[in-house]
Structure 1
Amino acid sequence: MQRAAAPPPVYYADQADAPRVPEPPGRLWRALGWMSIVLSVALVLGSLTAYGFWRRLDGRIDREDVKGRLGENRPEKLNDATNILLLGSDSREGENSRYGTEIGRRSDTAVLLHISPGGKGAIGLSFPRDSMVRIPECETDSRTVPARFGMINSAFAEGGPACTWKTIEALTKIHIDHYVEVDFAGFTRVVDALGGVEICVPRAVNDPRAELRLKAGRQTVRGEQALGYVRTRHGIGDGSDLDRIKRQQAFMASIVKKATDGSMLTDPQRVYAFLEAIADSVRTDEDMTLSVMQDLATGLRGISAGNVRFVTVPVQAYPQDRNRVQFDKAKAEPLFAAIREDNTVPEPEPAPAPAKGAPPVQPAQVKVGVYNGTASSGLGKRTAEQLAARGFDVVKVGNADKTYEKTAILYGTGAQRHAQRLAIALPGHPPKPWKKAKPGYVYLVIGGDGAKLRGANPVPKVAGEVRADQDICAAG
């Protein structure tokens, strides 16, 4: 038998060891202001209910017809989660002309904002601009852009937001519901409406190209200074895009933290100015209607900064060009899958009700064997590892004698309360006695309906992730 690395010990059984169980019953847009804006609006809209106010805001939002350019071969929507593609435009048109004279509307990055079912948590997934990917054929108003292999940021430059949308869906197999785009001027408006955003820099910064001068340590930056901070590539970090993404994620987290601060949410004048700045700054798809925004706001009411985090798609060096990167599929695919299949609403695990005169059963007291009764390879091992991380004493992992339609929790003599403790962690599967079970043991047989742990975070931890509630100096 092979012992798993993570405590408590998990043992892997051969097919022969499995008990025969009965059938269980039944480049980066340098500002990245768009990300902060979208998250912030989602986090505070819920405090407003006046319909007239909503209507005035709605009429100021610019919308673009993109859905008809996505094609038919799209990923299926699997659940009630909301996925919003956040894009940063470096357009120099109109009020953005003060930032340069470049022609066109480009975006050097994209972020996928995933909001879990029920609005209990959110994660912003950044796609590095230098990622070499397969870009599908895209349609614009004037031409067809052929499919090609290139940097992910070229999708927006050549095919617009619909092309980036289509590319991200093809790469991740995650269904995207909406997109939101923000420009430089919009970023500065929103930061000013917030009264500035707190940052932390390890040493003083003097970057004439970004018109940026900062002292070392914790401080608050406003509009143009904030824009210079998130645009600079000199004087902070190693100058790489990946390092800059991490710093900008800390900036976004600081915005979320401020946007969810109680003192702001209870000041109607501040909230009104903030939302007006957002409405004047974003462009969305045609289906991001007033009612959709209201539903989103309602679902996110009460979300805390601690449940918002930012991660970067895991990447590795691109062999043909060390200045480029490619997705690290071994690490990226599980992350994409977790977001794609986020079906559960995290909730606290209730305390077990002890039997009269008996102390509650603790997970460490539950000896459980986990058997995979499905055709999904590795499901038993993954579930066992999750149970072990919760403190359960997983004694065996193996395959059941056949496939099963339903998941079952079975127990032997003297293990009824232990089985009930396991059922708290795995709701929806009432424990049942089994005559062939070893006394004191519990058996989890995973069937076609799966084994979802209560309160399990659907998106795995990612190295370097930034949480919105952490100290800004620690995050930066």
Structure 2
Amino acid sequence: MSSNPMYMEYVDDADYGEQSPPARRRSWRILGWVSIALSVLMVATSLTAYAGYRKLNGNITHEDVDAAVGPRPKKLNTALNILLLGSDTRSGDNAKYGRAMKNEPARADTTILLHLSPGGTGAVGISFPRDLMVPRPSCKRKDGTRTAPASVAMINEAFTWGGATCTIATIEALTNIKIDHFAQVDFAGFKGIVNAMGGVPICLPKDVSDPQAKLYLKRGRHNVKGEQALAYVRSRKGLGNGSDLDRIKRQQQFLGSVANKALSGGVLGNPVKLTSLLNAGTKSLTTDKALSIGVMRQIAGSMQGMTAGKLRFVTVPNGAYAPDPNRVALAQPAANDFFAAIRADREIKEEPKKSTSAPKVPASQVRVRVYNGTSIQGHAQRYAEQLQGQGFQVVTVGTAPQPVNATKVLYGAGADQQAATLTGVLTGASVTAKPRQGGTPGVVDLIIGPDLSAVKRKATSIPKLQGEIRANQNICKQA
């Protein structure tokens, strides 16, 4: 393999039949899972009573990144954003996973932004696909030198060029979200973390026989540990369709199982398991200088209301990248709307107002067909994504039979309240819902005119994204 830092082929995508040390072909897609496990502890429990406090603090490697990142976005609230990174470094205990790669630059293959809403009201782990094409700024390295000039590149190349500092700068520029802390891990402690938890539950939709990953399991529930857990998270051809996005979904389900087990008391309520987990996790952890065990304890104290049902995992809204079908790009305006919601997140303190009017049907129960009645290409898809971000069920996206001068909302039999819910989130026009002769029962039609501006976004909550995973969901239902 080339020593060029921009050689971005992936070890787990290589030919497993090639003669090489067996460990070298182990996937590093488990990177970041130690971070997630530790982050779960941060948001779920206090470490005050932990006798090995000083030992834990000594285990962690700290890195000063604040001065190197440069101008930072403005903080709008007391929410916390922690960037979780995975490094495939072969230094130290990681050398056994590929000695031939010992002197090659480390790469990042897991990038998750963990957003913690104030007061334990919610948390969301936001995955950035490794193949996401983004603007990468010129960054300052730890030795004071600067990286190559700014360019458009895969998001994980930022780590290769300039480590955590460059990744923070890249994501902050992309999202305008202030990152408060970062946690970076390697894969040396992965098996120890899983074993310390007593294994992690998974559910397979079918039998798996993957000789490349050495994974042989029957369909259904399993509690995986050690090598078996490592095989599960690195399997490429044996599970799913082999795409990066499909594998992210499976990883998020695994992380949900980790979080659910920890938060349900399976780990946090067992002092022996907790001690073992903390020791294993902190040995492979690098953070910013400010994220000490003491700060983690303070964060934990402020998140006492966290439950598994409040923790969800999403992937940034994305779509095709026109110049290269093997890459993806942010889907707009859905991505920017989502980032804006994360920035503006704040605890809702006021009591909900009582209403004497008939309750509206929630967006999740509204089926919408979106039609473009303008000459603007892609308009229907853009509005469909915005509505999906608010929880609406978009069942059809298409073009209206003929252009319209004004936006229309039409509904079939029995969908009058669903139509009222839809009109309530439309801005830029005075839209009136009208019954449609012969319309599909229970379905609302949105015919977009040139007067429609945007879908309203709730400033006090983070919208749902299609395909998100909650930590307390049935793992077999997700599989």
- Deviation per residue, 1:53-91 (Å, 9 max, x gap): 32221121111121111012x211111000000001111
Determine the structure 2 residue equivalent to 1:317.
320
- Aligned partners of 1:42, 1:206: CA distance in 2, in Å? 37
Where do residues 228-377 of structure 1 align in structure 2 (5 Å cutoff)? Answer: 228-345=231-348, 349=352, 352=354, 362-364=356-358
Alignment check: 8 A CA contact 1:83 1:175 kept? yes
Partner residue in 1 for 2:432: none
Once the two structures are superposed, the pairs formed by residues 374-453 of structure 1 within 5 Å of their partners are none
Higher relative contact order (CA 8 A, sep 6+): 1
Structure 1 residues 346 and 315: CA distance shift in structure 2, 3 A? farther
Change (3 A) 1:296 1:180: same
Q: How does 1:4-43 map to 2 (within 5 A)?
A: 29-32=28-31, 33-43=33-43
Q: In structure 1, how many angstroms separate the alpha carbons of the residues matched to 2:167 and 2:476?
A: 33
1:231 shift after superposition: 1.5
Q: 1:106-185, aligned counterparts within 5 Å? A: 106-142=107-143, 143-145=145-147, 146-185=149-188
Deviations, residues 78-110 of structure 1 (Å, cap 9, x unaligned): 110000000011112222222223223211231
Separation in 2 of the partners of 1:283 and 1:396? 43
Identity over the aligned pairs, expressed in percent? 47
Which structure 2 segments of 5+ residues have no match? 1-9, 11-26, 361-385, 392-416, 429-455
Extract unaligned runs of 5+ from structure 1.
1-26, 353-360, 367-380, 400-450
**Aligned-partner residue type, residue 40 of structure 2:** S
Matches of 1:51 and 1:216, distance apart in 2: 39
Distance in 2, Cα, partners of 1:293 & 1:128: 27
* TM-fit CA distance, 1:332: 0.7
Q: 1:77 — aligned with what? A: 75
Output the aligned Cα RMSD.
3.1
For the pair 1:95 / 2:96, whether they are aligned, the reply is no
Mark the CA change 1:278 to 1:364 in structure 2 (over 3 Å): closer, same or farther. same
Letter in 2 for 1:120: T
Q: Distance between the aligned counterparts of 1:203 and 1:141, measured in 2?
A: 47
**Is the contact made by 1:37 and 1:187 (CA closer than 8 Å) also made in structure 2?**
no
Equivalent residues of 1:38, 1:180 under 8 A apart = no
Deviations 1:7-48 (A, max 9, x none): xxxxxxxxxxxxxxxxxxxx79511424432332224432x3
Counterpart residue number, 1:204: 207
Partners of 2:80 and 2:285 lie apart in 1 by 18
**One-letter amino acid matched to 1:248:** Q
Alpha-carbon distance in 1 for matches of 2:75, 2:126: 18
Q: Report the alpha carbon displacement of residue 311 of structure 1 after superposing the two structures with TM.
A: 0.2
Give the C-alpha shift of residue 460 in structure 1. Answer: 0.7
**Matching residue's letter, 1:61:** I
Q: State the one-letter code of the partner of 1:136.
A: P
The alignment partner of 2:160 has SS state of helix
Aligned 8 A contact 1:205 1:216 in 2: yes
Aligned residues: 371
Distance in 2 between the 1:395 and 1:337 partners? 20
Any idea what SS the aligned residue of 1:309 has? strand
Partners in 2 of 1:96 and 1:45 — Cα distance? 30
The structure number with the bigger radius of gyration is: 1
Deviation (angstroms), 1:452: 10
- Taking structure 1 as the reference length, the TM-score comes to 0.71
